[in-house]
Amino acid sequence: MSRECCGPDEPVVPVAVDSCCGSPEPLPIDDGVDLAPWWRDRALALPAASGALVAIGLVLEWRGVGVASVVIFSLALVAGARTFVPSTLKRLFTAKGRGRMGVGLLMTIAAIGAVLLGHVGEAAALAFLFSIAEALEDRAMDRARLGLRSLLSLIPETARVHRFGEEQSVSAVDVRASDILVVGAGERVATDGVVSRGRSWLDTSAITGESIPVEVGPGDEVIAGSVNGSGTLRIEATADGKDNSLTQIVRLVEQAHANKGERARLADSIARPLVPLVLVAATLIAAFGFAVGDPGTWIERALVVLVAASPCALAIAVPVTVISAIGSASKLGVVIKSGAAFERLGTIRKVAFDKTGTLTRNQPEVVETHCASGYDESQVLSLAAALEANSTHPLAQAIITSANERLEAVEVQESPGLGITGRVEGRSVRVGSPRWIDAQGLSESVASLAEQGMSVIVVEVAHRAIGVIGIRDELRPEAAEAIAHINAQGISTMMLTGDNTRTAKAIAHRAGVDEVHAEQLPADKTNHIRHSAAQVPTVMIGDGINDAPALATATVGIAMGVTGSAAAVESADVAFTGHDLRLIPDALAHARRGRSIMTGNIALALAIVAVLFPLALFGVLGLTSVVLVHELAEVVIILNGIRAARPPRHSGRQVPTESLASPLSLEASPR
């Protein structure tokens, strides 16, 4: 997407590049652009055509149709080379690219050498293998970039603004700092601001990832994209509609993807010093021939040396392992988007978790009820549920679900941000925050539940507090076991959450997490991940839109895909189709094993080059022998790479049952 410099205003989000106008250039929102299905992807057309032509050429060669096979191989070579040779040469002849001579250049040189020596089929096979690998990698990156559109859906198209003594409806991007926004029940907040009038609760789960609503009143800060509860709020905007929390998330994700694109593949990092050495050696060999008066012999040897040092085996060493490993992982619900992601996954030394929806269920539940004398748990929950059945508060469903008896309430009135009142069976009943309802003799119970980090609801009948209800988001039952397995592999763990410090520390202790950072906004999470990834390879695991920048910034981002937001899934390198956290240590071990096999294959490929190079240099081996050795090495490498297809298996280590049964502390904002 692009836009002319200083053009007319339109709905935009900023990205981290300088425009010709001297400020970050905004990109227009384009919901009509989508990634084409793979069978209609033009970028895959040439590699696919190259592969088909190579197959036809092999059949013709086997049938003894020599001329036709050479023609077909030539077409396959052109189709495959078209995808990487022009860009390789462009990088080579730019100041920035001279220091980036990787596998692409070596593949180009090897293909040219093979053609000069009459082995067009070899050159075509090389071009096909490399072109298909590059095309699939580019497609994965395009998918990630397009996924950012889902972030923008959280910004409403219009906002109600109080200007010049009257209420106006304006485009959300036209909102300016200091404008007074009028946000009704169920509406989204158009930009960041501070509440100036009214009380309500806000659903901030899309931004902070927390499932428990946040009570807000005058003086409280609110975040763009939050969903208002039942009260009407007046909010003084503190950021323009084009530059708020959500647009910052987009910017952070764009920056992270751009930075990650610069990271070299394993094969490239090895090929980089090899390329100039091979080129210098071949040039010196040819020059020596002119010096001794026998240029024909030594030029041919120089070409044989180029083929001997060609990256045929090196080109296969990584893809065959990656394809085998990624395929087996996908059968268990671990979708790895690219070879580069798989390579990085095998290096991880720290795992960072989002809390809500990742370590916890993201389903608040009633877990403890304290009652006054004369009442039992069933009565307290039934009375509370009768009123909550008429409420829009997110905690209402937890109470309704826990009640065994269904009672009817009348004259129900909700006080936004405080609670709800009504009459049940002729009695006056109130349900709400301890700040609104005096817990009386149950004050100690309220303090105890709050100390454990629970959301506390007080139930009052005829001005007497009859019970208090503690609600929390439960830890996933397999979380402690999964983290124990991760730690057993020598990998440290960290938790990042928008929840308060007391809750976060309780969850971390319960799950066995080593390090915790609480009260984190998306930018804060990203900064922690960036700092950690600079120290050790770090994986980030999350499922919300608020996690997208951190997922993109991490060495590897893993999205929990079943309930994960589109932005999280698209920003991540790996997606889980399920929510079983025990797959995480299995995936890490699987990637580490695959990387070990990959490294072994690369070592073998380099050893072949090291052996063939002097033999070709001194004329011990001719072109036919060199090609034969390369082919045998490729067979061995392929067979070794196929071993990576063995699926990851759960280690089966047992976690002490007392750790699974320890109490969970979770704090959340009540009404």
- What does the alpha-carbon distance between residue 515 and residue 318 come to, in Å, rounded to a whole number? 34
Q: What is the rounded end-to-end Cα distance, in angstroms, of the chain?
A: 43
- What does the alpha-carbon distance between residue 56 and residue 49 come to, in Å, rounded to a whole number? 11
Q: At residue 541, what are phi and psi to the nearest 5 degrees?
A: -120, 120
Helix (H) or strand (E) holding 273: helix 266-292
- What does the alpha-carbon distance between residue 152 and residue 164 come to, in Å, rounded to a whole number? 29
Task: Give every strand in the sheet of 227-228, ordered side by side.
Answer: 214-216, 200-203, 227-228
Task: Give every strand in the sheet of 221-222, ordered side by side.
Answer: 166-171, 158-163, 180-183, 233-237, 193-197, 221-222
DSSP 8-state class, residue 264: P
The CA–CA distances, whole Å, from 116 to 287, 300, 568, 671 equal 18, 9, 49, 78
Is the C-alpha dihedral spanning 347, 352, 353, 354 positive or negative?
Answer: negative
Per this entry, what is the length of the chain?
671
Helix (H) or strand (E) holding 351: strand 350-354
Note whether 459 and 384 are within 8 A (CB): yes
Query: Strands 158-163, 166-171: parallel, antiparallel or unpaired by DSSP?
Result: antiparallel
Secondary structure (DSSP) of 381-392:
HHHHHHHHTT--
- Active site (annotated) includes residue 354: yes
Q: Identity (one letter) of the amino acid at 578? A: G
Q: At residue 654, what are phi and psi to the nearest 5 degrees?
A: -95, 140
The CA–CA distances, whole Å, from 348 to 330, 494, 536, 579 equal 19, 13, 7, 20
Closest listed residue to residue 12, CA positions, set 188, 194, 244: 244
In the set 203, 243, 354, 573, the catalytic residue is 354
Helix (H) or strand (E) holding 641: helix 623-642
Tokens of 463: 């001005």
Closest listed residue to residue 234, CA positions, set 186, 189, 198, 202: 198
Secondary structure (DSSP) of 430-497:
EEE-TTTS--GGGHHHHHHHHHTT-EEEEEEETTEEEEEEEEEEEEPTTHHHHHHHHHHTT-EEEEE-
Tokens of 558: 């893993």
**The residue to which tokens 């009633």 are assigned:** 366
Closest listed residue to residue 253, CA positions, set 587, 34, 576, 540: 540
The CA–CA distances, whole Å, from 514 to 119, 540, 654, 655 equal 57, 15, 19, 16
- What does the alpha-carbon distance between residue 509 and residue 532 come to, in Å, rounded to a whole number? 21
Closest listed residue to residue 609, CA positions, set 274, 130, 118: 274
Question: What residues are labeled active site?
Answer: 354
